[in-house]
Amino acid sequence: MSEVKKIATRESYGNALVEIGKEHEDLVVLDADLAAATKTNIFQKAFPKRHIDCGIAECDMMGIAAGLSLTGKVPFASSFAMFAAGRAFEQVRNSIGYPKLNVKIGATHAGISVGEDGATHQCNEDIALMRSIPGMVIINPSDDIEARAAVKAAYEYKGPVYMRFGRLAVPVINDNSDYKFEWGKGVTLKEGNDITIIATGLEVSYAIEAAKLLEADGINARVINIHTIKPIDEDIIVKAAKETKKIFTVEEHSIIGGLGSAVCDVVCEKAPTSVYKIGVRDRFGESGPALELIHKYKLDAEGIYEQIKANL
């Protein structure tokens, strides 16, 4: 068996910016002294004049991005999720969201998979924050293929978009010829009629593995990848709620306000169903190698399997 290719989605972000930047002169990239980490340095190398380093000033960066968008540019403002969605929340809300400006936010280093840097830099709240802003689109891609497609779709869309990327190299799972990124559409990766696992971001590949473990126990799990958290694909969720007995959501994010909450919002209104949220359970992260933390927080295949078995 050949080894699975792994790429961090932040790397996909940097590469996609170069690809799109080649065709579109109006694409500009902003960073706040993290170009090497967010991988916008790949773009910086290719298009130095269109890369704007704002220094360590994320709030100012969001405002500058707003100003650039008002004068015909398509800015991609980049930082860690903690600072893009956290520190600069109000700038994103008032200077980008409220006037509905065409600003794209590339947030890397989301979740506990930041690893050793620890809790101050592990943002498990960004989806919750961004979901609360009217009109904000949120994309959390599962792998390199999806991430690059998402960046392209974000460029083509007119309006604010929040893109969530990770630091950790993750398996490429969408490497098939019929892959197509459809804005706002969930993807059924495995059919099943007992339960449904709805996952997002790097948890999608773990969810697929967890479904295999459940299969061995005779539990037939449907697996759905939600890359667009807002606007969310209501149809695919309602269908799963009606056709399977229980929904498990899986995300590398707080269970408060993230994918799990978004799914609950849909099923509460349209198809009341029991939902169990797998994620970071109302706590801060900590230092440690990313894979060890993902295991410790029961967010790997084994942890997901255990939590599903315990809450069927």
For the stretch 149-171, what's the b/e string if a residue is b when 16 or more beta carbons lie within 10 angstroms of its beta carbon?
bbbebbbeeebbbbbbbbbbbbb
Residue whose tokens read 């405002």: 63
Does position 153 bind other proteins by CB under 8 A? no
Q: Which of residues 239-268 bind other proteins (CB under 8 A)?
A: none
Among 21, 63, 192, 201, binds other proteins (CB under 8 A): 63
Query: How far is Cα 263 from Cα 25, in angstroms, rounded to an integer?
Result: 38
CA angle 39, 140, 149 (to 5 degrees): 70
From the number of C-beta atoms within 10 Å of its C-beta (0-12, 13-18, 19+), residue 40 rates as buried
Q: How far is the CB of 152 from other proteins (least distance, A)?
A: 23
How far is the first Cα of the chain from the last one, in angstroms, to the nearest whole number?
A: 33
Q: How far is the CB of 127 from other proteins (least distance, A)?
A: 23
Does position 46 bind other proteins by CB under 8 A? no
H or E element at residue 276: strand 275-280
Does position 169 bind other proteins by CB under 8 A? no
Among 1, 48, 71, 272, binds other proteins (CB under 8 A): 71
Structure tokens at 150: 């998402």
Pattern 6-35, binding to other proteins, x per CB under 8 A?
----------------------x-------
Q: How far is the CB of 15 from other proteins (least distance, A)?
A: 23
Residue whose tokens read 């990313």: 290
Does position 67 bind other proteins by CB under 8 A? yes
Assign 12 to helix, strand or coil.
helix
Among 2, 23, 48, 72, binds other proteins (CB under 8 A): 72
Among 98, 116, 269, 311, binds other proteins (CB under 8 A): 98
Q: How far is the CB of 24 from other proteins (least distance, A)?
A: 13
Catalytic status, residue 58: yes
H or E element at residue 150: helix 144-156
Query: How far is Cα 254 from Cα 199, in angstroms, rounded to an integer?
Result: 13
Does position 49 bind other proteins by CB under 8 A? yes
Assign 23 to helix, strand or coil.
helix
**CB nearer to other proteins: pick between 90 and 175:** 90
Does position 195 bind other proteins by CB under 8 A? no
Structure tokens at 141: 């891609």
Q: How far is the CB of 129 from other proteins (least distance, A)?
A: 16
- Could you give the residue numbers annotated as active site? 58
Contact footprint for other proteins (CB under 8 A): 28, 49-50, 52, 54-55, 57, 59-73, 75, 90-91, 94-95, 98-100
